[in-house]
């Protein structure tokens, strides 16, 4: 599950409802998207087996992002909100 969370967080800022991997994070102090994060997001979306699950969890993370006091994404709180989607993606990547 930690591997799946790391992959989602890498592409988190670039994945929203309209699903543009170049999209900025909802939290104001998150760093700008790196080319590595954009590539990871696009690759995960394109995955024929788990791409739709990735899109669901990343969209949930973006749409429900909880920002910490320092203005960065609170990954723990956001993961809790998106547990259903994260579990489905984790199951897909492990199956």
SS3 92: helix
Q: What is the pLDDT of residue 19?
A: 60
SS3 40: helix
The domain ranges of the chain are 2-94
Give the pLDDT of the chain (95 residues) as one tens digit per residue: 554 454 455 454 444 444 678 888 889 999 988 999 999 989 999 999 999 999 898 888 888 899 999 999 999 999 999 999 999 999 999 97
Assess contact for 8 and 65: CB atoms under 8 A: no
């Amino acid at each position: 599950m930690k591997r799946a969370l790391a992959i989602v967080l890498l592409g988190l800022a670039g994945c929203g409802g309209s699903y543009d991997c170049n999209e900025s994070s909802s939290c104001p102090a998150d760093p700008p998207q790196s080319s590595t994060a954009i590539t990871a997001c696009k690759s995960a979306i394109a995955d024929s087996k788990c791409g739709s699950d990735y899109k669901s969890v990343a969209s949930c993370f973006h749409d429900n992002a909880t920002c910490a006091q320092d203005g960065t994404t609170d990954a723990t709180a956001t993961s809790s909100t998106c547990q259903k989607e994260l579990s489905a993606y984790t199951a897909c990547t492990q199956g």
